[in-house]
Structure 1
Amino acid sequence: MNSLDLPGRPEDTRVVVAMSGGVDSSVVAGILKREGYDVVGVTLQLYDHGAATHRAGSCCAGRDIDDARRVSETLRIPHYVLDYEERFRQAVIDPFAESYVAGETPIPCVSCNQTVKFADLLETARDLGAAALATGHYIRSRSNGAHRALYRPVDADRDQSYFLFATTQEQIDYLRFPLGGMPKPEVRAIAAELGLAVADKQDSQDICFVPQGKYSDIIARLKPAAATPGDIVHIDGRVLGRHEGILRYTIGQRRGIGIASGEPLYVVHLDAERARVVVGPREALETRKVYLRAMNWLGDEDLDAIGPDGIELFAKVRSTRPPRPAVLRRRGGATWVELAEGESGIAPGQACVLYGDDGNDARVLGGGFIERSERGARAEAMLARLAALPVDVAAE
């Protein structure tokens, strides 16, 4: 076995590297080339939104494609640019906008990995005769019986496992993540050692296709209905003001709500059907149960055979939060996670990612998208009452 846990010598092993034009994927191509692998670089052109293609921190656009091409020339590896703009729009941008219209807070990076990168590009890598597709993600994979499993990386500050929970077992078996065992400073040092022009390049941002980071502008253009004005309503039914579209709000938001109040208020619910932004005190955000859809289970246990006690594990409901103790339960087709410690600001459309423990070497057990959350009994009762009232009644 070689360094990628593949049979055969490196020089007899073709590996396609997904090159975004950033330092991480460039270093992956560089170290694999240095180890003797038959490396082929592939860059996806995903969008062309004018200013976004020149913005520092964007990826898979004009300037970054040029950077990937220059790196490939330095490394002397073949490099291909594939036009995936239409596929990216259909699979990522359109669902992103539709999710906001529905009052959710989506994660486009997960959708991109699910569809464009780990489905379409993976098939392209197979067509090129590659034994594996390697990426610059900070996550680890290693053998687990007849398959491979995912684990959190050495560099906890760069942990990207939250965005990769939807990776299927078949994809995991084919993918390789050479940077999972390295801290970021070491990666940049290797880039400088290899003479790569991107050694000091700024890291890409999460929402790569949004010019100046203003996602509301993209959504308003694609889905004008999301910019429909409506009421800002207190959870107790009082109308406190007006807003210019629910797309400008997220669950848990406190600043920039657009109303003056003698008490701290947070966005606790987005009523897309009635174009209402519901606000309330912080305690109305407290959540201990989240229901999941599109569940991707990577654990060894049979998910459909979960007993009444559920499975004790650790859950992460935000990319920036550490995994917390939880119990996974499944009954009657429904899957939910009970959090041992309350979390606030949980929004539909976000991910709940599951782990074997809370350590840096924790195994990724999969996860799902949050369909809805269950608050405390008082908050749930107030939201139910508000939902039952006609808009004109709530306004009185």
Structure 2
Amino acid sequence: MADPTLTGVNSLGIAKAPEDTRVVVAMSGGVDSSVVAAMLKDQGYDVVGITLQLYDHGIAVQKKGACCAGQDIHDARRVSEAIGIPHYVLDYETRFRDSVMEEFADSYIRGETPIPCVRCNQEVKFKDLLATARDLDADVLATGHYVQQKLFGDHAEMLRAVDKNRDQSYFLFATTQEQLDYLRFPLGGLEKDDVRILAEKYGLQVANKPDSQDICFVPNGNYASVIERLRPGASEAGEIVHLNGDVLGYHKGIIHYTIGQRKGLGIGGRDPLYVIRLDPEKNQVIVGPKEALGVTTLHLKEVNWLGQTEISSEGQEIEVKVRSTRPSVRATLYGSGAEGGARITLHHPEQGISPGQAAVFYDGDRVLGGGWIENKS
């Protein structure tokens, strides 16, 4: 960003002095958002920290290192006190349960593989929290996400983070242009090791705190237990069926299986078989050989588009990520007549793709948006 003394624009792209610029920082209690708050405070901004209590700790199992656990709220409060900023905890439990947890359970019952962190950003953090920031007369809302942002006047673009191992653009694909223009991501140009060094520099007690690995309301990755708590009776046994129609065994509930799964099927003694698809209507797990996992066409819904022009119905070349842990691959994106819809043709088949996951579009490092995978072929 240009020198504010020469341009009249501060490091956050606002035409104000830092001390006259109010920044709400979404503080999870982890090292990343804590460094954002400390760094902006050090630069002279009027910083306000907000932490969201997202689930009932008496119902969901509290897990150390999960982004919304009680310890993390305590850590966010301690950091705020140490750096001298006001800090508020907002009770969003009902909103989080209705918008994220309930949808998570229903998605698995439909035979999908959901990504609740995206829904949380989409429905809670970048909607309700952003509205709260505006109510507090904040000029921007800052987070500890690892994505870059470039400002062109009043228009912002999202790019992958400098630290490609930490890049979180996949989880932010649903950020609208209006939201993106209001948000700031101060860590996007830093490596994670540099963030830890800054935490030490600012004397933050969370400097060596481990990063969150699990979904905050899913202790130890046992999502099936959470679904069964939210939807009693969801683990109904049914048939494991080969693509050729042969019944090979019985499963313990389709919520326990994911596309591409090989282990734990309980049908040993044959050539390797993988979960090809889940049929919730028939309550069947469909299995087959590895080559049957290949997918070349994806149909998307709820597409969020950040491109400068509309998606072409004749097709445009992009890169797409179909899983957060996979590299982006070449594809052609087609606009759809259906509102919020689109179609993607992958240049080479990809395996292990499931409805409920996201397909995120890129032009080099620039994020063009993305959509939810509705079906595939």
1:153 aligns with 161
Match of 1:338 among 315, 321, 345: 345
2:136 pairs with 1:128: yes
1:287-317 CA-partner distances (Å, limit 9, x unpaired): 11110000101111112xx142x11010000
1:281 aligns with 289
Task: Determine if contact 1:233/1:239 at 8 Å carries over to the other structure.
Answer: yes
1:45 aligns with 53
Alignment partner of 2:23: what SS?
Answer: strand
Q: So what's the TM-score if we normalise by structure 2?
A: 0.95
> Which letter does structure 1 place at the counterpart of 2:202?
L
1:322 aligns with 327
1:27-60 CA-partner distances (Å, limit 9, x unpaired): 0001000000000000000013459664232112
Aligned pairs for 1:1-396 (under 5 A) are 1-50=9-58, 54-144=62-152, 146-303=154-311, 306-308=312-314, 310-333=315-338, 334-357=341-364, 362-374=365-377
**Bigger helix share:** 1
Provide the rounded CA distance (Å) in 2 between the counterparts of 1:371 and 1:138. 27
Q: So what's the TM-score if we normalise by structure 1?
A: 0.91
Alignment partner of 1:156: what SS?
Answer: coil
> Which letter does structure 1 place at the counterpart of 2:328?
P
> Which letter does structure 2 place at the counterpart of 1:363?
R
1:156-212 CA-partner distances (Å, limit 9, x unpaired): 000100000000000000000000000000001100111101001010124111122
Provide the rounded CA distance (Å) in 2 between the counterparts of 1:302 and 1:75. 45
> Which letter does structure 2 place at the counterpart of 1:77?
I
1:377 aligns with none
1:120-151 CA-partner distances (Å, limit 9, x unpaired): 00000000110000000000111146410100
> Which letter does structure 1 place at the counterpart of 2:372?
F
- For residue 356 of structure 1, report the CA deviation from its aligned partner: 0.3
Give ranges in structure 2 of 5+ residues lacking alignment: 1-8
1:386 aligns with none
Cα RMSD, aligned residues only: 1.2
Alignment partner of 2:104: what SS?
Answer: helix
223-232 vs 271-280, greater mean Cα deviation: 223-232
1:311-362 CA-partner distances (Å, limit 9, x unpaired): 10100000011111110012432511111121000000000000002xxxx1
Task: Determine if contact 1:91/1:111 at 8 Å carries over to the other structure.
Answer: yes
Provide the rounded CA distance (Å) in 2 between the counterparts of 1:331 and 1:11. 47
- For residue 106 of structure 1, report the CA deviation from its aligned partner: 0.3
Provide the rounded CA distance (Å) in 2 between the counterparts of 1:280 and 1:53. 36
> Runs of 4+ in structure 1 displaced over 4 angstroms?
50-54
Give ranges in structure 1 of 5+ residues lacking alignment: 375-396
